[in-house]
Structure formats: structure tokens, C-alpha cells
Structure 1
């Protein structure tokens, strides 16, 4: 729902900015139009990411298809960089030597104001959801957005936040151009919008690459999973625990455990399989692999300290 709201908002805003850019001949408005069209196109990639990443696992993909969400989100981030950042910066550089005035600035301000309202509605939706989820995980909203495996939520949060800042830059650039009569201010607005988009794109590219190569969960999440496993009646202790993301909110867990009791080998093997199947019924667990601990291995502790 967050992605769909962002997509509809960006399409409406992109159309309005394009018309305004043609009427006003403003470099900043042209950059903002490119920004919105890039965002609208990226929302399509994010919708694909959600759809493709949710496919159930099969024999050839035992860890599921969750990483496809990171791939498509990575493509969307490159779209921001190329269609948004590079186009805006290049257009601004080309307009630095221009002395053409902004025509009908009232139209530009009206479109920017409407765009700000629409982008704010979309951003508030993403912010509220991020704040709620961060509170549930006892984290700050900023840390949650940066580290969450929900790649589409992070993309919408950053894109809409950048859109609001970009609109403020565009409006200020046009205003200074009007006050000073120096057209270069409008061109610099386009360049600054492009630089802003480049920073956002690089952040999103970096986070998606991190998850694609195998990002592990945070210390707090690691302790939470370990505590939950020890809370099972079949597991007496844990000597090894590895958890990594294989998709948004999808975990792959490998653990060495000591089962309660002292049964024969064939009975222990079946109990391990039963415990694995029980754990995999949890919504966020894609796959878990359990093996037996060696008797002299040190048991892991899941207190407040680091692992």
C-alpha cells in the first residue's frame, strides 16, 4: 500500500511538473520533473520487487525468492541515479550560462506547492509505518529505516524525503532568481537537486548490495532469536547460531544445539527434523538447519551484551 500511494503521487506530480517546466522554462522545475518521473518509474520496480520476492520456495530455490526483492530494488536505485541525478546535474550545468528568465513563476510556485502536499502525504505514510516498526524493535526511526530488510519501505522513505527537500530547493532557486535577476541560481537549483538524488541513490544501492551478499541480523535480533530457540522445550543449549536475511523479513538460520534428554541416534535425528519443521512454521523463517552440539563446546549466552 505504501508503494502504491507513492506511485500514484509521483505520477500526478510528474505530469504537473512537466507542464510547469514547459511553461516556465525553469531549470529547477525541469530537474524536478525528471526527479518525479524517475521516482514513478522506480515505484514500478518496487512493486515488481514485492511481487517477485514473495514467491514461495521450491526444490531449486530452497531459500525462496526473497533476494529478488533486493535485486529489483537495486535496479530502482540505479534508476534514481541515472534518470534523476545525472539528468538533473547535466541539465543544470548546461543552463549555467543561460540568461533566460523564469516565465510565469506563479505557475511554478503553485505546482511546487501542490507537489509538496502530495509528496508529504506519501512520506507521512512511510514515516508512520517506519516509526511504529522501529518502536516495536526498540530502535530509532532512522536506524530502523537504514537497517531494515524491508527494501521497498526504505526506498519510499528516502525517495519521498528527498522529494520534499528537492521541492524546497527548487522553490528557493526560482525565488532567488527572481530577486537577483541572475539565471544561474535556477541552474544551481537543478544541480543541487541532482546531487541530492545521487546521495539517496548511493545509500539505497549500498544497502541493497549489503543484503544481496548476505547481511546478518542485528545483535538485538540475534539475541531475540536465540532466546526464542532456548525457550523451546526440545532445545537445552545452543553452541552456534548464524542468522542472515534471504529476503525482506525472511531469515535463514543455522544452529548447533543440544537437545534435551539422551535418546538414541535415530530418535535424535527425527527430533531435530521435527524441531526444524516447527520453527519453519514461523512467518519470518524461510529455512533452518540444525545440527548437534559437541559436548565440550561453550554454550552461547543471549543477554544484553554483544555476541
Structure 2
């Protein structure tokens, strides 16, 4: 729903900005139109990411298709850089030497104002969702958005945030052009919008690459999971615990445990499998693999963390 709202908003805004760019001949408006069309295109990739990543695991992909979401989100982030940043910067540089006066700036201000309201609605929706998730995990909203494996939420959050900043830059550039009479300020606005998009795109690409190469869960999640395992009456010790994200909000769990009692090998295997199946009932755990600890391995301490 977050992506769909952002997509519809960006289509409306991109259309309005394109018309305004033609009517006003403003370089900043051209950059903003490119920005919104790029965002709309990126939302398509994010919708594909959600759909591909949600496919059920099968024989060829025993851990599921969750990492496909990171791949398509990476493509979407690159789209911001290629279609938004590069085009905006190049157009601004060209306008520096052939700057045209902004015609009918009232049209530009009106479109920018409406766009700010619409982008604000979309950003608020992403912000509310992020705050709720951060509160649930006992962390700051900013930290949650940066660290979350939910690549779609992070992309919408930063794209809409960058859009709001870009609108302020565009309006300020047109205002400086009016005040000073220098059309170069409008071109500078286009360049600044392009730089802003580039920064956001690089940041999003880096975060997706982190999850693609294999990112561990946070120490807090690991500590909570370890304590949850030790709370089970059939587990006496945990000597190894590994989490890895294999998709948005989906984890692969590997642990070595010491079971209570001295059951036969056959019964131990059944008990381990029953625990694995119970753990996989948690929607955040895609697959759990448990094995027995070696006697001389030290027990892990999960006393730290929330």
C-alpha cells in the first residue's frame, strides 16, 4: 500500500511539473519533473521487488526468493541516480551558459506548493509506519529506517523526503532568480536537485548491497532470540546462533543447542525438528536449522540487549 500510494502521487505530481516546466521554461522545474517521473518509475521496480520477493520457497530456492526484493530495490535506486540525478545535473550545467528567464513563476509556485502537499501526505504515511515499527523495536525512527531490511519502506521514506527538500530548493532557486534578476540561480537549483538525488541513490544502493552480500540481524534481535531459545524447557544451552536476512523482514536462523535429558539419537532428531517447525511459525523466520552442541563449547551469553 505504501508503494502504491507513492506511485499514484508521483504520477500526478510528475504530470503537473511537466506542464509547469513547459509553461515556465524553468530549469529547476525540469529537474523536478524528471525527479518525479524517475520516482514513479522506481515505484514500479519496488512493486516488482515486493512481488518477486514474496514468492514461496521451492526445491530450487530452499531459502525462498526474498533476496530478489533487494535486487529489484537496487535497480530502483540506480534508476534514481541515472534518470534523476544525472539528467538534472546535466540540464542545470547546460542552462548555466544559456539560462532562460522563468516565465510566469506563479504557475511554478502553484505546482510546487501542490506537489509539496501531496508529497507530504505520502511521506507522512511512510513516517507513521516507520515510527510504529521503531517504537515496537525500541529504537529511534531514523535508526530503524537506515537498518531495516524492509527496502521498500526505506526507499519510499527517502524518496519522499528528498522530494520535499527538492521542492524547497526549486522554489528557492526561482525566488532568487526573481529577486536578483539572474537566471543562473534557476540552473543552480537544477544542479542542487540532481546532487540531492545522487546522494539518496548512492545511500539506497549501499544499503541494498549490504543485504545482498549477507547481513546479520542486529545484536538486540540476536539477544532476544537467544533468550527465547533458552526459555524453552527442552533447551539447556545455546553455543552458536547465527541470523542472516534472506529477504525483507525474513531471517535464516542457524543454532547449536544442548537439549535437556539424554534421549536417543532418533528422539533427539525428532525434538530438534519439532523445535525448528515451531520457530518457523514466527513470520520473521523463513527457515530454522538446529544442531547439537559439542560438550566443551562455551555457552553464549544473551544477558545484554533489550
For the superposition of Structure 1 and Structure 2, which TM-score range results when normalised by the shorter chain? over 0.9
Match of 2:244 in 1: 244
Q: CA deviation at 1:233?
A: 2.1
Which segment drifts farther, 258-267 or 19-28? 258-267
Partner in structure 2 of residue 34 of structure 1 = 34
> Does the residue aligned with 1:149 lie in a helix, a strand or coil?
coil
- Cα distance in structure 2, aligned partners of 1:297 and 1:5: 51
Matches for 1:7-156 after TM superposition, within 5 Å: 7-156=7-156
Query: What is residue 160 of structure 2 aligned with on the other side?
Result: 160
Look up the match of 2:280. Answer: 280
Equivalent residues in 2 for 1:211-226, closer than 5 Å: 211-226=211-226
Task: Report how many residues are paired.
Answer: 306
Aligned residue number for residue 200 of structure 1: 200
Check conservation: 1:98, 1:183, Cα contact below 8 A: no
Q: Which runs of 4+ in 1 moved over 3 A?
A: none
Per-residue deviation, 1:305: 5.8
User: Residues of 2 paired with 1:303 and 1:236: CA distance?
Assistant: 15
The 2-side partners of 1:128 and 1:62 are apart by 34
Separation in structure 1 between the aligned mates of residue 305 and residue 275 of structure 2, nearest angstrom: 27
CA drift of 1:99 comes to 3.8
Partner-residue secondary structure (3-state), 2:59: coil
What 5-or-longer segments of structure 1 have no aligned partner?
none
Scaled by the length of structure 1, what TM-score is found?
Answer: 0.98
Judge conservation of contact 1:20–1:29 (CA < 8 Å) in 2: yes
Query: Aligned partners of 1:62 and 1:225: how far apart in 2?
Result: 22
SS at the partner of 2:146? helix
User: Aligned partners of 1:271 and 1:29: how far apart in 2?
Assistant: 64
Per-residue CA deviations over 1:193-227 (Å, capped at 9, x if unaligned) read 00000000000000000000000010001101111
What is the CA deviation profile of residues 169-216 of structure 1, one whole-angstrom value per residue up to 9, with x for unaligned ones? 000000000111111100000000000000000000000000000000
Quote how far apart the aligned CAs of 1:37 are: 0.1
Residue 25 of structure 1 and its aligned partner are, at CA, apart by: 0.3
Of the structure 1 ranges 282-291 and 28-37, higher mean CA displacement relative to structure 2 is found in: 282-291
Long gaps (5+) in structure 2: none
Contact kept, 8 Å, 2:70 with 2:208, in 1: the verdict is yes
